[in-house]
Amino acid sequence: MEAGWALFLDLDGTLLDIAPTPDAVRVPPGLIESLSGLEACLDGALAIVTGRARATVDGLLAPLTPAGGFGHGAELRDAAGRTGGTDAFPALPADWGVRLEREAAAWPGVILERKPHGLALHYRAVPERAADARAALESLLAGHAEHFALLPAHMAFEIRPRGATKARAVEALMRSAPFHGRRPVFVGDDVTDEDGMAAARRLGGLGLYVGRDFRCGPAEVRAWIARALARLSQGNAHAQP
């Protein structure tokens, strides 16, 4: 890692170990401190880009409130804490959550996750329900495909607004301070991160994949961050007059 990077990090499966359910995820000791220190070393050019809602991320990483793209880029927050971007997308039809809740109740082990700009069905506990989960979401999209899209994820399928992408978050943040002029590096672990990685590469940076570049999973990403923090902090100390 270099001091001139702008770092974009996915959350689940990248910084955090995958949990049986979305609510069961745990933040390992020391991670928040490492992220806070690295954010300072990068002059604020660190962002969390995730499918989770902003409020959920803030709860997990408190007291850290980094820049980021939330809901797969539907909501943005810059390094100064300004939020926005949501007015670009239509609201989900009000009855979709009710319909999915009813269907999920008939499939023990399938979990409905409600988000400000999307809905997800998780089938990790019952992988044989993958086709059912996909079909349930596809049925909602009939007649609405112009505005919403189906997104596959880790043992889940999700509906999100079209145009709400992690690439959108990368591109928007790279136009603002302190990201502008730096080399973007996106770290992610699944198909939902690939457009963010592609955006980073288009802007002269890198896309790093957990499972390929970090073969030991999130634990290796966290160790990489800790090492980078130690090295960059040492360099900053030597640079002091």
Establish whether 10 is a catalytic residue: yes
Supply angle C-alpha 23, 77, 187, rounded to 5.
65
What residue type is assigned to position 155 of the chain? M
Supply angle C-alpha 126, 92, 86, rounded to 5.
115
Out of 10, 12, 58, 78, pick the active-site residue.
10
CA proximity to 159, closest of 196, 112, 226: 112
* CA–CA gap between residue 11 and residue 3 (Å, rounded): 22
* CA–CA gap between residue 34 and residue 211 (Å, rounded): 22
| Structure-derived torsion over alpha carbons of residues 126, 9, 173, 190, reported in degrees to the nearest 10 | -40
Annotated catalytic residues are 10
